[in-house]
């Protein structure tokens, strides 16, 4: 049984032009200890997916249209706020893009880590403190007992993200959702944080869902990848297969836009155009207006995800020709 | 922290001196002096001149000013021309009245202002929010003397529940104090409640959108901690500034309210001192009010540093 299994999830947002689907009919699984990468540009629905799993979407304007989110066999979408609070922390932990603004500026980091333990486990102050010190040491913070009384503004960006990780993992969740965890950090620090996450995955045997727009991060971390475009999954594959045989023009575009030291092109390759307006989506394939491979059939109907090879699915009707190239 | 306090006190000294200078100048610009009030309507110009000479009012203005500053250095603010009492003594007889009224009003303001602001923010765009903001709007728009008069008409004249005015010291009779101060305190608090509720609502809305509030929810914290701890602690930083302003408004508003409810406070003392051109009383009374306001502002700054660790560590 998978740890997390999302089925036909649709998330709607109320806008001036009526309700639009930010996430539309997505289905995926995540096994215990697995690292799943979710890739896509801003607005593709990655973060909305993550927040709907956590039950953290602001409602209204957001609303779950249909679908289910099964975590350890229970549908989280049927959970009330109270039951959901017991999942957040001990079940699923989450870290965010901006470690500066994600930590509360007026409380010490010790207080912010310890309160999580207090709320979920109700242990005494000394035990909370020991746990916080251990966890800070584990995420690579030197002299943790002294850092406990520091405020977030006294730490560097990389240290803040380590604190965020310590806070998210202190109750030993089975799943960590990392929403662009390295985007706001220096390149050297990015590498350290990614390595730390992989180490912790092995040690705590937790699954990680890492959301990013950076193919390099995915290559480094993920066992399996989901590529999202305009609220839909357009391709999903094990990491090797995705890089060896990208089977959707959007995935190819993302891979081509990674700058490489090997070639001496003057300009980076980009995908022309922008994401479609969610209240005026193209009738067929949502990527069709930007696609170099488009044919008349693309606008006829929304292409379903089909198997390219076992475990590898693409939502492009020309995936066979793409593979041949 | 100690440095914050020291800097603020040092910065307040020139402010206080400037206020005394302006007070002195303004009073000398108003025509007439205390001799008319002391001598009575039938007094002759010669009699008035004698009174002036007796009180030292015939001396040039700058000499009077330096004499007053000389007294200030020695801690002597002089005697009231009109009351025949020491200025400090006269002020301190009245100060507890004004301070207790303002404090009562402040408690009401904090209680209802903060609460309705927070609730309105949590229930944004619902009828609760709209009702709270309409109430705040009414509070801000309604002149407090008018509200005071209307309350007297309703609760004192028609219903007979509360006295129309007067003052009973708290130390003498707490219930009597409550009865005499409740209407003045409410009429004084309405404006501040409206002001504070609106600021609290907009600040809370801003803070509730912040990433750290999402983090607090993502940790599985219960709502009372997310709102009451993580959001409120940040919202209080700007709110405290407004509370400082509110306190200043309360003390200046007390002057009018004391008149409406015939409460013998500092406001009444100063109003009659100004009407009688009782220079030492005005000068001294205003000095004490200034000290009070400056003290409150220092408290606000200290609270600011206490609430915001970034100020505490960087500002020094």
pLDDT tens figures, A12-35: 888 888 888 888 888 999 998 899
pLDDT tens-digit readout, B180-230: 888 888 988 998 999 999 999 999 999 998 999 999 999 989 989 999 899
Taking CB atoms and an 8 Å limit, are B221 and A85 in contact across chains? yes
Position B305 scores a pLDDT of 82
Q: Transcribe B70-127 into DSSP letters.
A: HHHHTT---B-TTT-SBHHHHHHHHHHHHHHHHHHHHHHIIIIIIHHHHHHHHTTTSH
B277: closest CA of chain A, how far (Å): 51
Asked if B98 and B267 touch (Cβ cutoff 8 Å), the reply is yes
- Looking at beta carbons, which residues of chain A come within 8 Å of B217? 56, 88
Position A294 scores a pLDDT of 80
Taking CB atoms and an 8 Å limit, are A105 and B223 in contact across chains? no
Which residue, chain included where needed, has tokens 């990208």? A246
- Looking at beta carbons, which residues of chain B come within 8 Å of A87? 220
Blockwise average pLDDT, block size 10, chain A, 325 residues:
87 84 88 90 86 86 87 88 88 88 91 90 88 89 88 88 89 90 82 88 90 87 91 89 86 80 68 80 83 80 84 83 70
Question: Considering only CB atoms, which residues of chain B are within 8 Å of chain A?
Answer: 210-212, 214-223, 225, 229-230, 233-234, 237, 307-310, 313
Q: Does A89 touch chain B (CB under 8 A)?
A: yes
Which residue, chain included where needed, has tokens 């008409």? B153
Give the sheet arrangement for strand A18-30, strand by strand. A18-30, A4-15, A62-71, A74-75
Position A266 scores a pLDDT of 64
Taking CB atoms and an 8 Å limit, are B234 and A87 in contact across chains? no
Position A138 scores a pLDDT of 87
Chain A 166-205, residues with CB within 8 Å of chain B CB atoms: 167-168, 171
Position B313 scores a pLDDT of 63
Taking 70 as the pLDDT cut, the residues of chain B under it are: 1, 313-316
Which residue, chain included where needed, has tokens 């609303």? A63
Position B315 scores a pLDDT of 45
Which among B262, B118, B111, B115 is positioned nearest to B184, based on CA atoms?
A: B262
Position B316 scores a pLDDT of 39
Taking CB atoms and an 8 Å limit, are A102 and B214 in contact across chains? yes
A55: closest CA of chain B, how far (Å): 9
Position B215 scores a pLDDT of 92
- Looking at beta carbons, which residues of chain B come within 8 Å of A105? 212, 234, 308-310
A155: closest CA of chain B, how far (Å): 12
């Amino acid at each position: 049984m998978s740890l997390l299994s999302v089925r036909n999830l649709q998330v709607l947002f109320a806008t001036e032009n009526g309700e639009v689907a930010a996430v539309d009919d997505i289905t995926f699984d995540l096994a215990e200890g697995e690292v799943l990468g979710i890739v896509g540009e801003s607005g593709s629905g990655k973060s909305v997916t993550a927040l709907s799993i956590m039950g953290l979407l602001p409602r209204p304007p957001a609303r779950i249209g249909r679908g289910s989110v099964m975590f350890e066999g229970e549908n989280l979408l049927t959970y009330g706020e109270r039951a959901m609070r017991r999942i957040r922390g001990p079940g699923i932990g989450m870290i965010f893009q901006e470690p500066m603004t994600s930590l509360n500026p007026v409380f010490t980091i010790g207080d912010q880590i310890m309160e999580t333990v207090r709320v979920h486990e109700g242990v005494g102050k000394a035990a909370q403190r020991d746990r916080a010190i251990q966890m800070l040491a584990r995420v690579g913070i030197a002299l943790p007992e002294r850092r406990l009384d520091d405020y977030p503004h006294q730490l560097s960006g990389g240290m803040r993200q380590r604190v965020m990780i310590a806070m998210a993992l202190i109750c030993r969740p089975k799943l960590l959702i990392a929403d662009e965890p390295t985007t706001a950090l220096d390149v050297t620090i990015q590498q350290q944080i990614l390595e730390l996450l992989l180490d912790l995955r092995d040690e705590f045997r937790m699954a990680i869902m890492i959301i990013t727009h950076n193919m390099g991060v995915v290559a480094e971390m993920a066992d399996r990848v989901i590529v999202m475009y305009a609220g839909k999954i357009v391709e999903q594959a094990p990491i090797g297969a995705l890089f060896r045989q990208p089977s959707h023009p959007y995935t190819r575009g993302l891979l081509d836009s990674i700058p490489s030291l090997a070639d001496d092109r003057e300009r980076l390759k980009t995908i022309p155009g922008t994401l479609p307006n969610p209240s005026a989506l193209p009738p067929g394939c949502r990527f069709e207006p930007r696609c170099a491979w488009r044919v008349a059939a693309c606008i006829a109907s929304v292409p379903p995800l089909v198997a390219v090879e076992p475990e590898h699915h693409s939502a492009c009707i020309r995936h066979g020709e793409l593979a041949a190239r | 922290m100690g440095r914050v306090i020291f800097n603020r006190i040092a910065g307040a000294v020139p402010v206080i001196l400037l206020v005394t200078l302006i007070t002195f100048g303004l009073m000398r610009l108003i025509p007439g002096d205390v001799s008319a009030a002391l001598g009575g309507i039938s007094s002759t110009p010669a009699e008035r001149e004698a009174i002036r000479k007796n009180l030292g009012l015939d001396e040039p203005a700058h000499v009077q000013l330096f004499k007053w500053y000389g007294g200030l250095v020695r801690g002597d603010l002089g005697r009231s021309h009109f009351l025949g009492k020491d200025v400090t003594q006269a002020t301190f007889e009245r100060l507890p009245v004004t301070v207790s009224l303002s404090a009562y009003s402040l408690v009401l303001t904090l209680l209802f202002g903060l609460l309705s602001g927070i609730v309105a923010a949590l229930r944004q765009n619902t009828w609760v929010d709209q009702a709270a903001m309409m109430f705040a709007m009414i509070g801000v728009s309604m002149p407090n003397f008018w509200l005071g008069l209307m309350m007297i008409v309703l609760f004192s004249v028609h219903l007979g529940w509360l006295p129309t005015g007067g003052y009973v010291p708290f130390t003498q009779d707490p219930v009597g104090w409550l009865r005499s101060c409740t209407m003045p305190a409410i009429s004084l608090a309405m404006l501040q409640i409206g002001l504070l509720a609106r600021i609290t609502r907009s600040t809370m809305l801003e803070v509730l959108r912040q990433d750290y509030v999402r983090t607090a929810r993502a940790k599985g914290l219960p709502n009372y901690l997310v709102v009451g701890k993580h959001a409120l602690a940040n919202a209080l930083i700007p709110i405290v500034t407004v509370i400082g302003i509110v306190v200043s408004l309360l003390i200046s508003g007390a002057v009018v309210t004391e008149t409406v409810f015939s409460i013998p406070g500092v406001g009444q003392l100063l109003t009659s001192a100004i009407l009688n051109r009782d220079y030492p009383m005005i000068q001294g009374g205003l000095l004490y009010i200034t000290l009070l306001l400056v003290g409150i502002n220092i408290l606000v700054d200290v609270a600011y540093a206490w609430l915001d660790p970034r100020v505490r560590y960087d500002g020094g």
